Structure 1
Amino acid sequence: MFCLKDGRCCKMPLGAICVFLFHHFIFFFHLAQFCGGVSQVVGPSEPVVAIVGDDTVLPCHLDPAVNAADMTVEWTRSDLTPKFVHVWRDGVELVNKKNEAYMERTSLPINNLKLGDISLKLSKVKLSDRGSYKCFSPALSGQASVELVVGKWRYSLCTERSK
């Protein structure tokens, strides 16, 4: 029996109370996730530009920042088979899943992972590296896209002084 503030009492079956409490619990749980900071995977709004032979970073981070060192992080290109450019799971890189074209050329700096930075370092950039990459974390069910544009040479804007 429940008594209201005005002193009136009412009977409510136990099952109805349980259903009421369950629905309110689910509502507040989802509200806490939405407002309380479940991290999102965030990538850059502009393409990344790199020169053949240089090293570059494909930026991606978690917002708000959480330690990603023990999370699964996948970098992929859908136009490749296998599609994996880099896979990080349980604190180690899974080299056996990686596309051969990226062997020994990718890394996720561990100190950055602890700060929510899941950016991919790509060494010795090749023309064939250009394209659209996906940064994905299954634990967060989120992904971001990063477009890599690759050029063959640098342009110099220096001018000679006349004597």
Structure 2
Amino acid sequence: MLYFTFQSSRMIHVSNRRSLHYQHGAFTDLVFYTVVFLALMNSCRAQSEVIVPSQPVVSLVGEDVILPCHLDPVMNAFDITVEWARPDLNPRFVLLWRQGEELKTIKHPSFSGRTSVFIDELEKGNVSLKLSKVKVSDEGGYKCCLL
């Protein structure tokens, strides 16, 4: 399982691998899960506060997960720049939305075809990221920023 948690003040990047043993009849399966802390480094837009959950978001490897992020007060984010990034990667962009479209050419290759925003929700201030087919390599600190 991958655990995604958030904090709103500063970046925290903690990696903690643990194993769980599950009993299935005569067999014991060893299952690895990854704890991932996702936090905002700084709010990049002064007009709205970026809001993220205080409880963990949990996903199994191979499933889709939504990393919630919205603006308060609500503002239309369709025509502004929304950046989802992993500062530890090069290039750092997980998704970059600018002027009504995603800029796919500067996205980190490991996220190609696996990230999206909810286009119909951007005008309501919902800038959440959908990450499809979660991989163990998705572990890391994520940044949601509006420019």
Quick check: TM above 0.5? Answer: yes
Question: Cα deviations across residues 41-100 of structure 1 (Å, max 9, x unaligned)?
Answer: 111223322110100000100001111111100000111111100000000000011000
Note the 1:1-163 alignment, pairs <5 A: 38-138=47-147
Root-mean-square deviation over aligned CA pairs: 1.3
Question: Cα deviations across residues 111-158 of structure 1 (Å, max 9, x unaligned)?
Answer: 1111100000000000111221000001xxxxxxxxxxxxxxxxxxxx
- Unaligned 5+ segments in structure 1 are 1-36, 139-163
Letter of the aligned partner of 2:81 in structure 1? T
TM (norm. structure 1) is 0.60
Counterpart-to-counterpart distance in 2, 1:100 and 1:70: 25
- Which of the two has higher C-alpha Rg? 1
- Unaligned 5+ segments in structure 2 are 1-45
Counterpart-to-counterpart distance in 1, 2:75 and 2:131: 23
| SS at 1:132 equivalent | coil
Q: For residue 7 of structure 2, what is the aligned residue in structure 1?
A: none
How far off is 1:39 after superposition? 1.3
| Moved beyond 3 Å, runs of 4+ | none
Greater fraction of residues in strand: 2
Letter of the aligned partner of 2:80 in structure 1? M
Aligned length: 102
Matched-pair identity in %: 55
Counterpart-to-counterpart distance in 1, 2:80 and 2:109: 23
